[in-house]
């Protein structure tokens, strides 16, 4: 089965079944600051001289919270853990943290990208979405 990325400006799949992929972003050629996803100008120096780049699929847990009231159309279980992970390049990426319990987490833990296929409520089409899991945790 072929699965497509939920957001092609942020996630490029490298496996047709959605099991593997890379995060996309831009790098400012003026000041070197990285951003996650598409951008029209650098948020640090406002330069428009951006080049597309791939970003690391691992980082450290910067902050996290337990979400009891999800956004409309949220396809997963509730409550869920929402975490902000800082990549080695600098950007912070917010996504659900899966395969762990809230009590196991603490700031600074190593995290790795976890891709999951979900069926979005609006279409019934399967999309690959990016999430985080503890590095070294079970798949
Ligand atoms: Zn810049």
Q: Is the pLDDT of residue 139 over 70?
A: no
Residue 136 Cα to ligand 1 middle (Å): 34
Q: Which domain holds residue 13?
A: 4-134
Provide the terminal-to-terminal Cα distance of the chain, rounded to the nearest Å: 20
Number of domains in the chain: 1
Over residues 50-107, the pLDDT tens digits come to: 999 999 999 999 999 999 999 888 888 899 999 999 999 999 999 999 999 999 999 9
Longest dimension (CA), the chain: 43
Residue 40 Cα to ligand 1 middle (Å): 11
Would residue 139 count as lying in a domain? no
Residue 49 Cα to ligand 1 middle (Å): 8
Would residue 91 count as lying in a domain? yes
Q: What is the pTM of this model?
A: 0.90
Q: Give the per-residue pLDDT at 79.
A: 96
- Kindly list the protein residues that place their beta carbon closer than 5 angstroms to ligand 1, a single-atom ion: 28, 30-31, 33, 42, 44-45, 47
Over residues 13-37, the pLDDT tens digits come to: 999 999 999 999 999 999 999 999 9
CA distance 50 to 73: 33
Would residue 55 count as lying in a domain? yes
């Amino acid at each position: 089965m072929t699965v497509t990325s939920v957001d092609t400006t942020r996630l490029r799949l490298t496996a047709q079944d959605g099991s593997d992929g890379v995060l996309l972003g831009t790098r400012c050629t003026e000041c070197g600051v990285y951003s996650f996803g598409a951008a029209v100008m650098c948020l640090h120096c406002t330069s428009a001289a951006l080049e597309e780049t791939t970003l690391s699929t691992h980082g450290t847990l910067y902050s996290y919270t337990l979400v009891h009231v999800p956004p409309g159309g949220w396809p997963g279980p509730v409550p869920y853990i929402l975490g902000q992970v800082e990549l080695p390049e600098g950007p912070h990426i917010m996504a659900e943290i899966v395969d762990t319990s809230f009590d196991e987490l603490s700031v600074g833990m190593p995290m790795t990208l976890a891709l999951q296929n979900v069926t979005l409520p609006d279409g019934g089409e399967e999309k690959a979405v990016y999430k985080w899991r503890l590095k070294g945790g079970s798949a």
